[in-house]
Structure 1
Amino acid sequence: MKPVTVCFGEMLWDIFPNGVRKPGGAPFNVAYHLSRLGMDSHIISRTGTDEAGDELRNILHAWQIPQALIQHDPQQPTGAVLATADANHEMHYDILQPVAWDFIAWQPEQETLVRNAGAFVFGSLAIRNSVSRDTLWKLLGAARFKVFDINIRPPHSDMDTIRELLNRVDLVKMNEEELQLVLAASGETYTTPLEGARAVMLRYGVPQLIITRGSKGAVYVNRHEHYERPAKQVVVKDTVGSGDSFLAGFLSQLLKGRSVSAALDLAVEVSGFVTTREGACPEYDAAQFGVV
């Protein structure tokens, strides 16, 4: 049987400067890539009762990702993000609010699914509203393997709650800038990604930590060892969703019992490919990465 994964949080539209829109939101992106890479992938989220929400649901249907735990909101619209790129191809985001995914209500069937999942993946954006935040807290109590994908996007950056969540999870993924912000909020000084990761692990008891560094690659640290990987050398189209695909690639191998080294190798390959395409969820066949 395929390992079950559950992603919690935002599903929305990334709207690019040229007017093109792509489905997005970190949990939505991770769920897509987990599905492509052989997981039984699920998502808990909420959309508006509007055309934008219907289209996201149609996309999930095409991807064969279940929609049973995606709620309809009769008052709030489906989420959207206005994306712009700077000269270095790095993306900047205006995350509109309030929107439907701010109001994910708790349901008993969510807890049943999460309790039986190999991994429960969530991000820090979902804590910006008390409704979704309260639901998340309940589900964390049921999850066996909690994966925290930190996405600090000011002004949506409640560092006190982020620090509290760090005490309760099994694997954390963040980028180098977010590592610096977490260290600063903890009164720590940033030196290197490896030493910074170890400082976070020591302070919060995090068992496993991944630091993504864009074109500089990634660092993985656990209590006994660490690995570093260079980024794949590609012609970058944009970086939207590259971190999400990295996390999905890593988890897809870890949950199948592969080594950390093998999981990192696939993560680098998949995220490198994603940066050569526009948007977070390009079409691909997992077999091109040797995944069966």
Structure 2
Amino acid sequence: MQKRFIVGLGEALWDCLPEGTKLGGAPANFAFHTHQFGFDAMAISALGNDILGDQTRKELDQEGLRYIMPIVDYPTGTVQVSLDDEGVPTYDIKENVAWDNIPFNDEIEEVAKNARAVCFGSLAQRNGVSRETIHQFLAATPKDCLKIFDINLRQTFYTKEIIQESLTAADILKINDEELVTIGRLFGYPGLDMENKCWLILGKYNLKMLVLTCGVNGSYVFAPATKSFQETPKVEVADTVGAGDSFTGAFCAAILAGKSIKAAHKLAVEVSAYVCTQNGAMPLLPEEFTRQL
């Protein structure tokens, strides 16, 4: 029987941090963390025929994470990451790179047909090639596949059309408070408070859940007739790179393991707080988290 993978689909790139270069990209981060919870996980992207492409494969092999990342005629993606005094990153994301040009091939289509869950964002849709691949992938998934739109608005790499199409295709939206303000402006939701915006989006796009993260001010999960709130733990922050992706990965893994929304939310908050105490986006999680599933 074909394995059913949890898939992170989109950008694979290298975060050029003050302390060095680390493998990142939201889809790979998401897949890495669901993999740590014992699920069959896979990252799908594209790489260049270059040193960073070779290094990407080497690191993913070392982590035991499955991937499909065809080599294309563009350089492997990089991001210059600057951290402020509180460890919060700003990004300079290089354009015309490999993950902008992910081909939809037979191997990727086969994974789509058997996907158990898929996480995708807006960033990898900035170029038409990868955008088309993402939508072909989503269209090929089975009816019970959980589709998570982790919106990840970066720089100016998004449009209203991309966001609307993605919301229409998704089961779960993951968004932060700053992104919610941007969406409110873009979609013309004036005068609505934060929670009412979330309820409106949940209903308008017939979502199963909407996850809202508000940094140090906690996080929410909205679902029909359900609301969960968790405070953000106070921790010594090394950097916040990849913390949101670990939240999404842990939340998805817990939901697929049959946990309640509240239990999944609690685990996701604890995991992302731990990742904030570590450098880079892919630290190993302690057993106190992974054994819960």
TM, length-normalised to structure 1: 0.94
1:6 aligns with 2:3: no
Corresponding residue number in structure 1 for 2:263: 262
Tell me the CA shift for residue 90 of structure 1.
1.6
Distance in 1 separating the partners of 2:57 and 2:218: 33
* Gaps in structure 1 of 5+ consecutive residues: none
Deviations 1:145-181 (A, max 9, x none): 2111101112212222112211121011011111111
Corresponding residue number in structure 2 for 1:111: 109
Distance in 2 separating the partners of 1:200 and 1:288: 31
Corresponding residue number in structure 1 for 2:280: 279
Distance in 2 separating the partners of 1:203 and 1:184: 16
Tell me the CA shift for residue 268 of structure 1.
0.8
Corresponding residue number in structure 2 for 1:57: 57
Corresponding residue number in structure 1 for 2:171: 170
In the TM superposition, 1:224-239 aligns within 5 A as 224-239=225-240
TM, length-normalised to structure 2: 0.94
Tell me the CA shift for residue 62 of structure 1.
1.0
Corresponding residue number in structure 2 for 1:81: 79
Deviations 1:27-72 (A, max 9, x none): 01101111111110011110111111111111111111123x2111
Corresponding residue number in structure 1 for 2:69: 70
8 Å Cα contact 1:3-1:255 kept in structure 2: no
Paired amino acid for 2:139: G
Aligned to 1:6, what secondary structure does the other structure show? strand
Deviations 1:69-106 (A, max 9, x none): 21111x21100000011233321000001100000001
Aligned to 2:6, what secondary structure does the other structure show? strand
Corresponding residue number in structure 2 for 1:184: 185
Corresponding residue number in structure 1 for 2:23: 23
Worse-matched range after superposition: 176-185 or 107-116: 107-116
Distance in 2 separating the partners of 1:11 and 1:186: 29
Paired amino acid for 2:75: P
Paired amino acid for 2:122: S
Distance in 1 separating the partners of 2:102 and 2:167: 21
Q: 1:98 to 1:250 in 2, by over 3 A?
A: same
Distance in 1 separating the partners of 2:81 and 2:36: 25
Paired amino acid for 1:164: E
Distance in 1 separating the partners of 2:207 and 2:120: 15
Corresponding residue number in structure 2 for 1:139: 137
Corresponding residue number in structure 2 for 1:154: 155
Paired amino acid for 1:121: C
Distance in 2 separating the partners of 1:169 and 1:289: 26
8 Å Cα contact 2:82-2:90 kept in structure 1: yes
Identity within the alignment, %:
37
Distance in 2 separating the partners of 1:15 and 1:83: 6
Corresponding residue number in structure 2 for 1:39: 39
Distance in 2 separating the partners of 1:163 and 1:86: 32
Aligned to 1:141, what secondary structure does the other structure show? helix
Aligned to 1:167, what secondary structure does the other structure show? helix
8 Å Cα contact 1:13-1:23 kept in structure 2: yes
Distance in 2 separating the partners of 1:123 and 1:236: 25
8 Å Cα contact 1:11-1:28 kept in structure 2: yes
Tell me the CA shift for residue 210 of structure 1.
0.2
8 Å Cα contact 2:271-2:289 kept in structure 1: no
The two structures, once aligned, show a CA RMSD in angstroms of 1.7
